[in-house]
Every structure is written in C-alpha cells, then in structure tokens.
Amino acid sequence: GYEGILRRQSLRESAARTYARSLPIVPVRARGLTIEGADGRRYLDCLSGAGTLALGHNHPVVLEAIKKVIDSGAPLHVLDLATPVKDAFTTELFATLPGRLADDARIQFCGPAGTDAVEAALKLVRTATGRSGVLAFTGAYHGMTAGALDASGGAPDVRVTRLPYPQDFRCPFGVGGERGAELGARWTENLLDDPKSGARTPAAMILEPVQGEGGVIPAPDAWMRRMRQITEERGIPLIADEVQTGVGRTGSFWAVEHSGVVPDVMVLSKAIGGSLPLAVVVYRSALDAWEPGAHAGTFRGNQLAMAAGAATLAYVRENRLAERAATLGARMLACLQGLAATHPCIGDVRGRGLMIGVELVDPDAEITDAAGAAVPPPAPALAVAVQRACLDRGLIVELGGRHSAVVRLLPPLTLTDEQAGAVLDRFADALTAAER
C-alpha cells in the first residue's frame, strides 16, 4: 500500500532524491490540474512536473497524439532519422520561433533532458567561436551535468565568469528594477572591456529570461535589451535558456519576446515534449559550425515525445494560452500581493504569466542588504512549513531561490478561473496555518 511504497522508496533510492522527499505522495492517476494519490487524496498540482505540463496532466490532445503514433505502427526509436512525426514537430516549433530565428534557424535534437541541450549549446558556441569562456549569472540554473552545472555555479570552473543577475528584491546592487538593471549592464560592460578580467572574448553569454529555480526572478526587459546590445556589439553569441520559461508559461510564447530580444541560440526542453522527455537547441544558421557527427546521442528521436510536443505547441498556439497565462497570471499576482498586506511574512511577490514566486521572510528580524539597508531575512524553515501546510490542504507547490525561501507556483496554462481561486484560497489558508 501507500505507506509501504513510500518506505521502500526511501530505503532504496539515492539519498539525493529530491521532490519525493518534500512531497511524500504516491500519484496513481492525474488529469489536468489534479493528481490523485494511492491513498485516494486529490491534490491541485502547481508544480506541473517542474513546469513541464503546459496543458496539465494527460491532456486529451496529448494522449490522442501519443496513441496515434502507437496505433500507426511507426517505430518508437529511430535515433535521429527523419520521420513524419519529427517533421511535424520541427515545422510546428519553427512556426513559433521569434524574429530572424523563424527563417534562419537550425535545430539540434539532444536528449533527453534540458541539461543535455545546455551542454550541446555550450559545445556549439565553443566550436563556432573557437573560444572557451562562458558568461553566466548569479542564481542561474541550467542543469546537473558538468558544463551546465558550471554555468549554474555548482561546479566552479575558471571558464565560467559569473555576472550579477538583476533582482527586484535584495538586489546585489542594493537597488531594484530598471536602475539595478542598468548598473548590472555597466558592470558587464566593464568586465568585458577590462583587458585584465580574463573574460574579454567569451564563447557565449547564457541567461534565463526569468530565473526559475533561482527564485522566480524576471529579468527586466531593459536589462535583456542591454545584454543583447552588449553581446551583439562584441560578437558574443547570446544563449537564452527557455527550458522552463518556454511555450507560453510567462505570458508570451517564448519569454524573450517580452523584451523583443532575439537570441542567437535557444535551449528548449520541458513543455516542448508535452510531458515526455525532449530537448533541443535552435540557433542561427551562421553558428552551424559542427562537422557531421560532432554531436551525437542515442535518444534524440523520441517519436512519442515529438508527437506529444507538436500537439502541445499547436494547442498552446491555437488556443492563445500564452495570452491566457498573461492575464490570469497578472490576476493571481495581484491577489498574492494583496495577501502580503495581512501576512508580513511575505517579503516579495513576483513573476511573469503563470510562473509565480512568493518569497517568505522573517518580519521580526533584520539583516543588512548590499546597500546597507535593513531588510527582513529570508525564512527557509517557514517556506518548508508552508509547503507542508499546502500539501495538507491538497495543494502541491515547490520551493526555490538562493535561500530556498521562495514558494513557486507553476500551474498548467489551462488553469480555469475557478481553479486559480481554489489554489489561492488553499495557499492563503496554508500561510495562515504555517505562520502560527
């Protein structure tokens, strides 16, 4: 039974297991926003497979697309060979690409995870430029393989130069918003132009338009444009990691569209596979410097994932779910900001579209921020208590942020008004209970 499964798992699985630790449930059925556990309990799932399920669990169009491939007798595994399924996926994906990428992109199938696509992107720009350094940002998350981990800051390596990512709250410069963004841009320029910095001609800059794991921090549009300008002027390829922000999540199909920035390379995974593993890199054809066979991998042609992904991309486009995410996300953000008036433990509410973060603080304590101002410190223990109180009320949320004090909401883009209300009610209730 349910308890036995949890016990055996905790004994047999690696100590590194993650979600299973903070969310001790045993899902056996799921549809849309709802997961049903082996104990018969139902949960509203605002983790959505870490942002993977743009259409929620088991959406009929996704299931239909998968069944169609199975029923057709098509091979499920064909390495990277051309197939009708792959052709349909690529066509649908290219129709969504921003700016000049729509007409001038190449695609590299990687696989099967986001981190594989990050590796491929880093390798590609190193080959194309003949340079090795990479500029990445504080608080970034790009994956768990060595190169991606370097860029995330988890495995320090001299090849990665870390730049401050702008923040609205407790900004490393002590100032939030546009002014912090401009200071960050100047910092970047100074570093790149300083002959002694060792970062003068990197192979690329990699950034998340909204940091997800880093605590749901949207980059200001002006900062994004400055980063594009800085990299363009110096011939540095700009890689946008849209693994988590893509496919409508932030209120536009790709998050770079908010600022109008067109990157040279985009790293895509999660939602593009419609809940199955799929990861690709798309990039300007001028960067296609690879020799045949320079980047290989056995699992680059998952037919089911491409079929599920094509169906998801088409559904999001046809039903304008990015616009829906923008309007519903803005309403949810406003409600949560309202909640802060009566809950002093809410230090900050931020996000874009249906990628929302609530940073929890200890209102009775004080720390000094980078600018010397007294601010309440992050409250990771409270965040854990809120996550558990949410679970007790049938709501699944994830934590993130540099101090693990940010509650993250990543509901499916198909969320109804009524469901959004239920999510907010349960969250408010959990907050009140955990605060005591």
147 binding ligand PMP? (CB under 6 A)? no
| Residue 168 Cβ vs ligand PMP, minimum distance, rounded to whole Å | 19
Classify residue 296 as left (phi > 0), alpha (psi -120 to 50) or beta.
Answer: beta
Q: Which of 118, 135, 224, 282 binds ligand PMP (CB under 6 A)?
A: 118
115 binding ligand PMP? (CB under 6 A)? yes
* From 109-117, 295-303, 371-379, 416-424, span contacting ligand PMP (CB under 6 A): 109-117
CA distance 408 to 97: 27
CB–CB of 210/172 below 8 Å? no
| Residue 19 Cβ vs ligand PMP, minimum distance, rounded to whole Å | 11
Q: Which of 46, 50, 88, 110 binds ligand PMP (CB under 6 A)?
A: 50
Task: Report helix, strand and coil shares of the chain as percent, to nearest 5.
Answer: 40, 20, 40
Q: Which of 111, 139, 143, 172 binds ligand PMP (CB under 6 A)?
A: 143
Q: Per CB under 6 A, which of residues 200..259 are in contact with ligand PMP? A: 208, 212-213, 241, 243-244
Strand, coil or helix: what is 389?
A: helix
| Residue 122 Cβ vs ligand PMP, minimum distance, rounded to whole Å | 12
Helices (H) and strands (E) in the chain, counts: 13, 19
Residue nearest to ligand PMP (CB): 114
| Residue 277 Cβ vs ligand PMP, minimum distance, rounded to whole Å | 8
| Residue 276 Cβ vs ligand PMP, minimum distance, rounded to whole Å | 12
269 binding ligand PMP? (CB under 6 A)? yes
* From 110-118, 196-204, 328-336, 354-362, span contacting ligand PMP (CB under 6 A): 110-118
CA distance 245 to 251: 9
Residue 17 phi, psi (nearest 5): -55, 140
- Helical residues (DSSP H) of 97-243, grouped into ranges: 114-129, 146-152, 177-193, 221-233
Q: What is the DSSP letter of 109?
A: E
Closest CA relative to residue 401, chosen from 389, 386, 423:
386
192 binding ligand PMP? (CB under 6 A)? no
Closer by beta carbon to ligand PMP, 244 or else 419: 244
Closer by beta carbon to ligand PMP, 142 or else 426: 142
131 binding ligand PMP? (CB under 6 A)? no
Residue 189 phi, psi (nearest 5): -60, -45
Classify residue 55 as left (phi > 0), alpha (psi -120 to 50) or beta.
Answer: alpha
x/- site string to ligand PMP, residues 63 to 102, per CB under 6 A?
----------------------------------------
Q: Is the peptide bond before 98 cis (omega within 30 degrees of 0)?
A: no
Binding positions for ligand PMP, rule: CB under 6 A: 50, 113-115, 118, 141-143, 208, 212-213, 241, 243-244, 269
